[in-house]
Amino acid sequence: MHPILFKLGPFTCYSYGLMLAVAYLVSSSLAARYARRIGAKIHQDQLANLFFFTLVGGIVGARVLYIAINWDFYSVNLYQILRLDHGGLVWYGGFLAGFLVALFYLWIKKIPFLETADLVSPYLALAHSIGRIGCFLNGCCFGKPTHSIFGVYFPNRLIPIHPTQLYSSIGLFVIFLALLQWRKRKRFTGEIGLAYLFLYSLGRFGVEFLRGDSLPVWSGLTLAQLISIPLAILSGALLFIFRQKKGQGLYDNEIDFPVVLPRGTT
């Protein structure tokens, strides 16, 4: 565990922040290259902005949800709210906030939403995979104690624990590779975005059983699991339904759902 990689005078390089930067640069670059290859409607600079704004919005949303869940602590330790180097992000909060930011940006730029979701989803999985390495180096999102061969000793812990950060990182990288193959056989616009949600929800539900920092909130299930269940069911059902409706609406890859706001909205 190396939360601080090095210091140069007043500058401190935090491993978590560095991995977030690497995740942004790698994923946005690969997405831009693919967008150029297929002649996507979103331009390279727009794609870079989309990733950046989504990242910032996601971090804010993830932090807000974490603080809300742990308000008893933060209400008496307000100075800790901005200490991201101490960990404290909830991915589903980040996903919701990032999604809304991305939706608004695409609407402003008049860029098709579902087509863009298909384009960026594999690279979001890759970015998330890289970010989880930052979690491992930072020591957050840790697992339960274990005596298996996979156990890792963390500072201030007497017994090894599951490196759930690495489990998640590997799982997300597998999802990234799976989505690259899936998009070669997609039947409708928006399919890759739904596939990303479906696969991630299943993986997150499973890894939560090994997390040591996630407390059960209902029937032995954590908050992340309670969110994963309906998300997996909904995305899985939509995948099944739309893939079965051959030649109807969504099967035309040139058709996309526009982002529509009520009349009178500016």
Q: What is the pLDDT of residues 96-145, one digit of tens each?
A: 999 999 999 999 999 999 999 999 999 999 999 999 999 898 888 888 99
pTM: 0.85
Determine the average pLDDT of the residues in 206-235: 92
Share of the chain above pLDDT 70, in %: 90
The length of the chain is 266
- Asked if residue 139 lies in contact with residue 155, where contact means CB atoms within 8 angstroms, the answer is yes
What is the C-alpha separation between 171 and 262, in angstroms, rounded? 39
Sign of the dihedral defined by the CA atoms of residues 104, 108, 113, 115, in that order: negative
pLDDT band at 45 (very low <50, low <70, confident <90, very high): confident
pLDDT at 92: 82
Determine the average pLDDT of the residues in 251-262: 43
Nearest to 120 by CA among 54, 213, 184, 22: 54
